Amino acid sequence: MSDDDAHPRDLDEVLRLATALAEQMLASEIPAQSISRPRLRALIGAAQFLDENDVAWPAAVHEALDKIRQHTKVNES
Report yes or no: 68 and 30 within 8 Å, Cβ to Cβ: yes
The domain locations on the chain are 8-76
Q: Reduced to 3 DSSP states, what percent helix, strand and coil does the chain have, rounded to the nearest 5?
A: 80, 0, 20
- Residue 31 vs residue 12, higher pLDDT: 12
Residue-wise pLDDT for 29-60, tens only, equals 887 778 889 999 999 999 999 999 999 999 99
Residue 5 corresponds to which amino acid?
D
Give the pLDDT band (50/70/90) at residue 5: low
* Residue of 67, 75, 9, 14 whose CA lies nearest to 45: 14
Residue in 11, 64, 59 with CA at minimum distance from that of residue 35: 64
14, HSE (Cβ side, Cα atoms, 13 Å): 23
Quick check: 4 pLDDT over 70? no
